[in-house]
Structures are given as C-alpha cells and as structure tokens.
Amino acid sequence: MDRNNFKYPLKAYVDGAYRDGGVGYGFIIFDRSTVLAERSEPVPKGIWADSRQVGGELLATMAVLAWCDDRGVREITVFYDYEGIRAWATGKWRAKKELTQTYVKEIQSRKVKVRWVKVKSHSGDPYNERVDRLAKEGAAGNSYYWEEKMQLKEAVDNAVLSKMKEARNLYKEKAYAQALPLFENLWLYNRPLFYPDDMYSFCVCLRKDRRSPDALEVAEALIAAEPNNTRFNNIYGWILYDCLFHDKSRVWGAELLEQAQKILSKTKQEPNSPYELTVIKTLEWLYGLLDLPEGHLIESWIEKVNPETLSVLAYNFEEGRGKTVRKPSNAEIWYLAKAKWLLSESRFSDCFLCCNEALALIAERIPDGDTAPFLRLRGAARFQLGSPKEALPDLLAAQKLEKKWPLPLDIAKVYFALGDQNNAYKYALKAALFPGSELIKLECYSLLADIYRDRSMWAMERKCLLMYQLVLVSLEIEGDPETTKRAQTIACPPGLSFEQLYKELIPIWRMSLKPLLTPVQGKAVKRPIPKKGFIKGNDGREYIYAHPAFQGPIRGPNAGDIVEAYYDPDEIPEKPRPIEAYWVVPSRRKDS
C-alpha cells in the first residue's frame, strides 16, 4: 500500500492489558474517521509478558511502526496513555533493561516519524476505549487482525464532521465564544478529529475566555504534535504564562522558576512576548521576596533578555475615582531591576552607566517615561563614588517627581557629607518620621545620632543610639562598627521597646522640623482615605498629611475648617500631586 493512497494524515492508538495472568496488546490505525487496521494479540511468555501491561504497551507501539514501514508511511501520530512509551523512545527515560533497550532499538530502526500525544485512560475517548478492549481481548488469549476500510460504531459520523467544520468557520470569523463550546465537545468525544491547527484554534478560544488552565492539556498535545512550530510554541508559552502569573492557584519558589524557565525554552524574545513578560514578572517576583535571593540568581534572569529589543510601550490603568495609574514599560522595569541589583552588589560605576542608558532611552523613545527611580539610583551611585555635589541634583529632582520615603534619607546623607547641617537635619527628621524598612531605620537613626552629636544635643543622640540598638537586636544583625560601638555604651532601660521610644520621639521630631518648614493656610477637605488628611491651600495647591501630624482634636478637623500647614518648598512636585505637610494646626483666623 503506497502512502499516496492515504488521503489524510494517519493516527494510531495503542494500549496494553494484564488480565488473569495473561498479557495482551492492541492498536488501531485510522485516517480521520476511517479505520485502516486494528489488531488484538496475546503476548507470549518471556520478558514482554513478565512486564505485564507495560510490555503490551511497548509491543503495540512497535507493531504500529512496523505496519507503517511496510506500507511506506513516513509520518504518524501515536496516542498513548502510558508515559514510558514516549519517554523511552525520546531518551527522556534511560533504557536500562533488556526489554526497554530492545524497544528503543526497534523504534530507532524505523523510518517513520512519530508525533507523540498522551491521552488520559478511560476518559470517554471512543478510540481509546476501543483499543483498551482490543488489548484486553489479547490478554484473554484472542488474536484478531483487520485491515480493511470500515467504519467503527464509535467513529465520527458526518454530523460530527460538520460540527468541526462549523467550529473552524466560527474561529475564522473571530466568533470565539460561539466556537468554544463546539471545540470543547469535539475534544471530549472526538479528539482524533483535531489537527494541530484545530488544537491551536481551541487554545486561542479558551484563552480568550480566560481559561488558560483548561487550555494547558490541549496546548501540550499541540506541541507534542508539532514541537518545532513557532506559532504553536508561542500559544503554549502564553498559556503557561497565564497559569504561572495570573491564575489564582499560582505556584511559588523553585516551581515558579522551573515553570518560567520552561516558557523561555519554548518561546523567543520579542516585544511583549511571553518570553519577555516572563523575565520581567520573574524579576519583579524575585525583588518582592522578603529575603532577597542570592545575587547570581537575579543576575541570571537579568541576562536572559537583550535590552535593545525590549518593549517600550507603557499602559495606563483606571483605579477608580478618576485616578489613572501608569504601568511602566518592560524596558523601564528591566533597567530598574538591573540598576538596583548593581547598586546592591556595590558595582556603583556600572549602576551609574545603567541609569544613564535608561535615562537616554526614556528621552529618546518613551515620552511619558518615569525618570525618578533612575535619577535616585544614579544619585545614590554618585554618592558612593565620592561625588556628593553631583549626587544632590539627581536626588532632589527625583523627589520632585515621586514620593518615596527612602529619598529624604539619601538627601540627608548627601547634605551631611557636604557639611550643610541645616538641610541634613531637615531631611533626616523627615526620614525619621517615615523611616520605612528596618535597614532604612538603622541608617536613619545612625545619621540622626551623628547630627545630634554635632549639634551638642546629647540627650537626643542617646535616644537615637538606643533606637539603633533596639533595631539591631530585633534584626539580629551587625550594624556599622563605629555606630554599634557607641550604641553599646548606652544601657537600655529594662522593658523599653522600640515602639515606646518611637512614640516618644515622634512629636519631638515634628516640633523640631516645624521651624525649618514654610506655613500655608487652607481649608480641610474630607476624603475617604484611611489615616490621611487633605487640605486645599489658599495658594491653590493641595496638601496631604498623616493623622499624627495634626496637632488638634483627636478626630481631626471637619471639612471646611481653616487650618495652618507646614511644608517644605523643596518638595513641590513637578507632576500634579498633593504636597506632604509635616505639621498641621487649627488656625485662629476666622474664614471670611
């Protein structure tokens, strides 16, 4: 029989069975709905029967390929339910025993190209059920072979074929919601009808319906049938990406990294591709961990992309109440991750150059790009390189663009290095009011202790060193040797906690900051934001303050009450957003 006699690509189902001490195998070969051959054979005693149904499964596969070689068939799709059939044939599993070594040698000797597709046993698939019965007949000692063009009772009929045609037409018309139930029904009961393009269409419909987890089985069958098809690998990558980063039952840790690597192995880097987005999301996840992983792990993910091809497209999202939030482009996220990593690794010159590249890219290709984080990191790198004068403009510019509480501390350190005690004190006090993470607290209290010492404020120096000591104890780490030595000379009162001392110092810091600020009068505005108050200033600007900043009735001012707020003119932002007020008091002036 010549291959040209086959109108459609061939498919085969194989199975093995063990029953009452007997072993058998069966196979069925068909093109679309027309059966070309089916066979049921008992397995003679020996190494094949000793392995029970596994031996039957392997013999069935060998028999199918022998049938193909005898008839000049060069390509066939084999459906199987035992993983070893494919694993040994492809080398995924090492063939250690005579049985599997013979199987591998037989597979490799055949000229036919095999596409492997795994199916679930006893899942209602008519062909799988049929071949299961054939294998059981063989295990019962019955031998049967049929090679004629005949229709199985379970085979698809013209009505089913018309449903597939309808599904394909609906997909071409982009009527995905209408095509989806047809594809689902056909996949459940008539899976052999699906060509790779049909599986691709089914995957697209499921993904459009936000059901990527349901599409995973179909996508795996698709790439098993066409492992080197770029389009099919891409949809598989998208489905894996959805399951990994958008599904409610997400995985974490080593499994997340393993799945992310799998996406990269199946796809190529293109703008906004699953490859690119997976790298970006993985970097964000790594930086979001409480305990930052080892530097080489972050570096390996940074190096997985070529920055020249990264997407520069940003998105705006509506968050309600008319508020729009900008999501940075993938290029910005990647450069930011790299700059942070370089700074953490004390590679300050490389961090400086990385920030320059990012700022140049934003200037050339991202008109609405966010320069603030790169200005801040470049300023930090310049400071560490011994150039505080060059660092200061970067940090002040960053503060006008975004509100990040580590920024006042960075600016305070630069002013302190430049010998500007007043500005260093002002920014250190701001940082102390909103110190952020534990490590930032350590730097903040150390700097304040130095400033208080230079100002001969010995009691406040002592309290800041106590704060430093309490944070060190809670973190169980070693701090700056000089500051730690000074802190250890101060005996901590029994029972004193960080929270108690912090509450004591907050009003002192606010009172100390007040003379360094500028007053403005305005009206209190009510907004449903927890622990925050708003003021509409007489200068037309809007001010925001934390509730502890209000020095009046505990419940705060009522809407329309006249108040006086104290702010730093250096913090007036370039972009429209409220200005931070550090001290707010009821005004004695009556509103006219």
Burial group, residue 404, by CB count within 10 angstroms (0-12, 13-18, 19+) = middle
Output helix, strand, coil percentages for the chain, rounded to the nearest 5: 55, 15, 30
DSSP code string of 404-424: -THHHHHHHHHHHHHT-HHHH
How many angstroms separate the Cα of 95 from the Cα of each of 47, 79, 109, 436, 493? Answer: 14, 21, 16, 57, 71
Q: What is the dihedral of CA 163, 164, 165, 169, to 10 degrees?
A: 100
Tell the CATH superfamily of the 158-308 domain. Answer: Tetratricopeptide repeat domain (1.25.40.10)
Euclidean distance between the first and the last CA atom of the chain, given in angstroms as a whole number: 103
pLDDT of residue 247: 67
Helix (H) or strand (E) segment spanning residue 42: strand 34-42
Residue 201 half-sphere exposure, CB side, CA atoms within 13 Å? Answer: 28
Six-digit token string for 489: 């000379």
How many other CB atoms sit within 10 Å of the CB of residue 475? Answer: 13
DSSP code string of 8-77: S-EEEEEEEEEETTEEEEEEEEEETTEEEEEEEEEPPTTHHHHTTHHHHHHHHHHHHHHHHHHTT--EEE
- CA-based angle 209:214:217, to the nearest 5? 135
pLDDT of residue 521: 92
**How is residue 554 annotated by DSSP?**
T
How many other CB atoms sit within 10 Å of the CB of residue 133? Answer: 13
Within 8 A by CB and 6+ apart from 209, the residues are: 176, 177, 180
Residue 466 half-sphere exposure, CB side, CA atoms within 13 Å? Answer: 21
pLDDT of residue 157: 52
Letter for the amino acid at 492? C
What is the spatial distance between Cα 238 and Cα 36, in angstroms, rounded to a whole number?
Answer: 37
Six-digit token string for 114: 């095999």
What is the spatial distance between Cα 572 and Cα 578, in angstroms, rounded to a whole number?
Answer: 9
**Spatial contact of 332 and 314, defined as CB atoms under 8 Å apart:** yes
CATH architecture of 3-151: 2-Layer Sandwich (3.30)
pLDDT of residue 153: 35
Q: Provide the 3-class DSSP secondary structure of residue 447.
A: helix
* Stated pTM of the model: 0.68
What string of pLDDT tens digits covers the 592 residues of the chain? Answer: 444 456 668 899 999 999 888 999 999 998 876 788 888 899 888 888 888 889 999 999 999 998 988 888 889 999 998 899 999 999 999 988 889 999 999 999 988 999 999 988 766 677 888 898 889 989 988 887 877 544 433 344 566 778 888 999 999 999 999 999 999 988 887 777 788 888 999 999 999 999 999 999 899 988 887 888 889 999 999 999 998 887 666 667 788 888 899 899 989 988 889 999 999 988 888 877 645 555 568 888 899 999 999 998 887 766 555 567 778 899 999 999 999 999 988 999 999 999 999 999 999 999 888 899 999 999 999 999 999 999 999 999 998 887 776 788 999 999 999 999 999 999 999 888 876 778 888 889 999 999 999 999 999 999 999 999 888 888 877 888 888 888 888 888 888 888 899 889 988 998 999 899 999 999 998 877 778 889 999 988 999 888 888 887 777 788 888 999 999 888 887 777 888 888 888 876 554 4
How many other CB atoms sit within 10 Å of the CB of residue 166? Answer: 13
Give the sign of the dihedral formed by CA 293, CA 295, CA 296, CA 297: positive
pLDDT of residue 182: 93
What is the spatial distance between Cα 260 and Cα 318, in angstroms, rounded to a whole number?
Answer: 29
Six-digit token string for 257: 């990294």
- CA-based angle 316:310:372, to the nearest 5? 55
How many angstroms separate the Cα of 257 from the Cα of each of 38, 244, 274, 290, 297? Answer: 44, 10, 14, 17, 10
Helix (H) or strand (E) segment spanning residue 25: strand 22-31
Letter for the amino acid at 160? V
How many other CB atoms sit within 10 Å of the CB of residue 408? Answer: 26
What is the spatial distance between Cα 394 and Cα 379, in angstroms, rounded to a whole number?
Answer: 5
**Spatial contact of 99 and 47, defined as CB atoms under 8 Å apart:** yes
How many angstroms separate the Cα of 87 from the Cα of each of 50, 78, 107, 136, 572? Answer: 20, 13, 12, 24, 65
pLDDT of residue 592: 43
Domains 3-151 and 517-586 fall in the same CATH topology? no
Give the sign of the dihedral formed by CA 527, CA 532, CA 535, CA 541: negative
What is the spatial distance between Cα 247 and Cα 261, in angstroms, rounded to a whole number?
Answer: 18
Domain ranges in the chain are 3-151, 158-308, 418-508, 517-586
**Spatial contact of 167 and 183, defined as CB atoms under 8 Å apart:** yes
Residue spans of beta strands (DSSP E) within 491-567 = 518-525, 532-537, 542-546, 562-567
Place of tokens 């060059």: 390
**Spatial contact of 41 and 25, defined as CB atoms under 8 Å apart:** yes
CATH, domain range 517-586: 2.40.50.140
What is the spatial distance between Cα 152 and Cα 131, in angstroms, rounded to a whole number?
Answer: 12
Q: How many Å separate Cα 236 from the centre of its chain?
A: 16
**Spatial contact of 177 and 211, defined as CB atoms under 8 Å apart:** no
**Spatial contact of 307 and 339, defined as CB atoms under 8 Å apart:** no
What is the spatial distance between Cα 234 and Cα 189, in angstroms, rounded to a whole number?
Answer: 27
